[in-house]
Structure 1
Amino acid sequence: MNKVISVINVLGILWKIAIVTGKQCVKSNHCACVFDDGSGTIDLSPIGHKDGTAVFVDRPSSTDAYWYSYNPCGTFYEAACVNVAICQYDAANYIFQVCQYDPVKYVFQDIGVPDKVSFNYNGLYVVAQYQSQDGFRNTFVTLVCDQRKTQPALDVIGGTTGTDYYMTLTTVAACPVPSPQPSPEQEGGGLSTGSILLIIFFVLLFVYLAVGVTFNKVWRDFRGIEVIPNSEFWATLPGLVRDGCALSLATVCRKRSVYVSM
């Protein structure tokens, strides 16, 4: 009972942390979720069986008398559990139930299907929440990242109520994988900021010249080079640039000579 209370208290603390952080792992499919801050993707597909069997079969719980089977990605079959992700097995009542009508109906119970999974980040870990097909039961699987766990490990806590169950899955697959950065070709050859600024500059220059020339020619009846707007300024601009460069060069040389003399 103390273990159950501790689990509930820990989950409550983690839920408060999640409210503070605001970060979430958005479901992309029943095997993966993507962090909304761009920090990466958690994908369980590498450790899931695709042949209708479970990765973890009949694992005992640390808090109740039931055994549990779990396939992190994909469905499996176990007696009355059909197309499930998690199945609960009542081993203690199996012998009694075989004498009853429909013996496996209550011995094996669906407590989570892949189609009804959601991912929630609690501030420390991503928790995969599976719901049974009938919607009455929930299983919460805490995904713990461990780069050394190439072979996944499952710790079954079991049921804290009649409808909620808890597990901890430790695996390298729970570690966020950074999303690949698309190349410029993959992005459709988008323009850089410099290119956009150059385009804006030349467009404005064209508009300035077109409007200025038209105004000077039509309204002011100018001819020749005078039709260029502010022609006096443009005529003196090369000389101003030359004088500016000469002044800058002289200043640099003077500072250098002073530095050498010191």
Structure 2
Amino acid sequence: MKLFRIPMRGSVLLWAILTQLLLSQNGVFAGNGTKACKLNVESASERKVLERLEPLAHKNLSVEVKEEKESYTYEFQLCGDAGGVQGAGVIQRKTSSEEKPTIIGSYTSTKAIGGSDWVMLIYHNGDKYDTHCGKEARKAIIMISCNKNTEGVLEVILEDRERQNDCFYLFELDSSAVCPPVQSQLSAGSIILIIGFCLVAVYLIGGFLYQRLIVGAKGMEQFPNYAFWVEVGNLSADGCDFVCRSKNREEAPAYRGVSADALDEEPEERDDHLLPM
């Protein structure tokens, strides 16, 4: 009996192909992100709205809802096979039963509407109602709102089927994917001040290390350009003293007991004592 051996490179390639096929069956490679969604009317604006939801692609989200007699599990996947059901964007399963899941909406028939911090995703062409809503196809509306604190929490809001047509399932999902980008609050002046402080810090630290390690300075001489800054300080003090002080700078005479006017006047010659009495 002969055994056929597959070359090592060929076996690795075969395993890679098999792995990719298995992953694609599980919905991991079911589409290329949001591009797998087919819009009812292809438009650049709706495609741009879908691109905002790219972080949610290939994530299977589920929620369980208990009613009076039954318990249902809803599964949602963005532009992918929800619960492994081909073409289904949202499905409904009976928790206590292994019946075939009901397709509520298909991502092959999508409509996307977006605002500044929300996106409304509509999946059409679900399974038809048996008796309600004129036996029309089911429709799922997923309202995705901005929430930076909670990611991927799916909630069932209501099923509106008490009408003749245009019935729908409404879901709500919180995600940071639809949050607007945070803009910088720094002004041009603040940025200049930050750059200035950084340069001053580099100058002080670098100068201190140079003076201490290279020059071998001690004490205050470790401060970079110490002699220059001391001179600048003295000149600044003199300038401030000259501008800000209003003190009279005229020097007083050395001897305050004798006035300057008395020194200028020559004393009169008095010869009255020479006259005969």
TM bin (shorter chain): 0.3 to 0.5
Q: Identify, as 1 or 2, the structure richer in strand.
A: 1
Query: Higher relative contact order by CA 8 Å / sep ≥ 6: 1 or 2?
Result: 1
Larger Cα-atom Rg: 2
